[in-house]
Amino acid sequence: MLVRLMYASRAVDSIDHDALLAILRKSKANNPERGVTGVLCFSGGIFLQVLEGGRAGINELYNRIVGDPRHTDVMLLSYEEVGERRFAGWSMGQVNVGRLNPALLLKYSEKAVLDPYAVSGRVSMALLDELVATASIMGQS
Ligand code: FAD
């Protein structure tokens, strides 16, 4: 059975580009053997991540991620059983923040900033869907 989980969190101050790359590298190394796919967006000190895969595996991974000291304020935005994956092509795709169009952010929120804490989970998922549609996700597995 497949599930899709989405959460937001705030990076601790020490997270820089290299630390982000280390998280992505670890994700791409671990996720394929666990059948996990998804995307990770990092902008303005905020993470937005979608994880897809088997129910037990996604729950185990999410609990591990929640305990990771590299971020805080982890907020579960959505969790659902699904019939198919949305991000099957990515062991952990990375949103190309440089291509984050302010108009796209404004379409879904009050200000042109990524703030999943201020919008519904449905809105954050719609934003990620558009990023996939506009080829703004890198790191095809
Ligand atoms: P190791 O990498 O050997 O780590 C052992 C322990 O050390 C773990 O408790 C780990 O959390 C901790 N650790 C490792 N590096 C650091 C560091 N630089 N600073 C502090 N503690 C550290 N992991 C995935 O497998 N898939 C994902 O999709 C994924 N997404 C993530 C998204 C975010 C926003 C964050 C912050 C982390 C994510 N992680 C992901 C990492 C996850 O939290 C675990 O660190 C990782 O899965 C542990 O991998 P491992 O079992 O190979 O242990």
As a whole number of angstroms, the distance between CA 83 and CA 112 comes to 32
pLDDT of residue 70: 97
Nearest to 116 by CA among 44, 12, 33, 17: 44
Q: What is the pLDDT of residues 8-55, one digit of tens each?
A: 999 998 889 999 999 999 999 999 999 999 999 998 899 999 999 999
Q: Which residues contact 12 (CB under 8 A, 6 or more apart)?
A: 69, 70, 71, 72
How many angstroms separate the alpha carbon of residue 75 from the centre of ligand 1? Answer: 18
**Domain spanning 2-138: which CATH class is it, in words?**
alpha beta
As a whole number of angstroms, the distance between CA 7 and CA 119 comes to 12
Q: Is 27 in the pocket of ligand 1 (CB under 6 A)?
A: yes
Domain boundaries, the chain: 2-138
How many angstroms separate the alpha carbon of residue 18 from the centre of ligand 1? Answer: 14
If DSSP states are collapsed to H, E and C, what string results for 30-96? Answer: HHHHHCCEEEEEEECCEEEEEEEEEHHHHHHHHHHHHCCCCEEEEEEEEEEEECCCCCCCCCCEEEC
Q: Which two tokens stand for residue 60?
A: 């185990």
The sign of the CA dihedral 121, 76, 50, 1 is negative
pLDDT(141) > 60: no
pTM over the 0.75 mark: yes
Q: What is the residue with the minimal CA distance to atom 30 of ligand 1?
A: 27
Q: Is 37 in the pocket of ligand 1 (CB under 6 A)?
A: no
Q: What is the pLDDT of residues 90-105, one digit of tens each?
A: 999 998 776 678 888 8
Q: Which two tokens stand for residue 18?
A: 């290299």
What type of residue sits at position 87?
F
pLDDT of residue 42: 92
